[in-house]
A = this chain, B = another copy of it.
């Protein structure tokens, strides 16, 4: 259990993550929001914390966002859309095993590469308004469905064991999500290496243990 979550210092939040039609100031406020929320949590972060990190007064936030909760929502919504995109652009493979491997590899690599944003996406959901939370839930359902579809297919084709699809997919996603707690960019595994490794593990999970 090494590589524990530490204060998110010296972290990179790629500017390209944000919608390009957003003003530069809005994008820098989103990046600052990610850093503040990841380090101290939503509730302990003030609008002043977010704006002062980019050299602005608190009022500047309201030019671009209706509230601190709207900053959180745009971060969480963007993170979920981006990680869903890398799943939905996968072409179905001939082989269910290869298809599952590709999904896991991409999901894990995305979460490792964007582990700071992803940490906010996973740990601050309870701070969203009910309506915002419902929008995020729908994106999460779609992510889950891409995995469920291929596992169902693998079970039907007998490429996989007769696993409990709901539970095994929940576990595969859980493995991918938890790395945002401990992943560090300066650690031993690149996002791609971790993706490959977890793709192998996921295959072991759906085929069952060798005798």
Contacts and interface: CB of A to CB of B under 8 A. Distances in A.
A65 interface: no
A203 interface: yes
Interface string A192-211: 00000110110111111110
Interface stretch (A1-9, A22-30, A54-62, A88-96): A1-9
Interface residues of A, number: 49
A123 B8 CA distance: 13
B204 A208 contact: yes
A122 B123 CA distance: 12
Q: How would you classify the secondary structure of chain A's contact residues: helix, strand, loop or mixed?
A: helix
B198 A204 contact: no
B177 A175 contact: no
A158 B116 CA distance: 39
A170 B41 CA distance: 25
Given A1-B140, A137-B4, A174-B175, A205 B197 contact: no
Given A123-B123, A174-B178, A178-B175, A204 B209 contact: yes
A164 interface: yes
A66 interface: no
Contact of A200 (B143, B170, B201, B208): B208
A78 interface: no
Contacts of A40: 41, 43
A1 B137 CA distance: 8
Closest 7 pairs (CB-CB, A-B): A43-B44, A178-B178, A41-B41, A203-B209, A204-B204, A1-B140, A44-B44
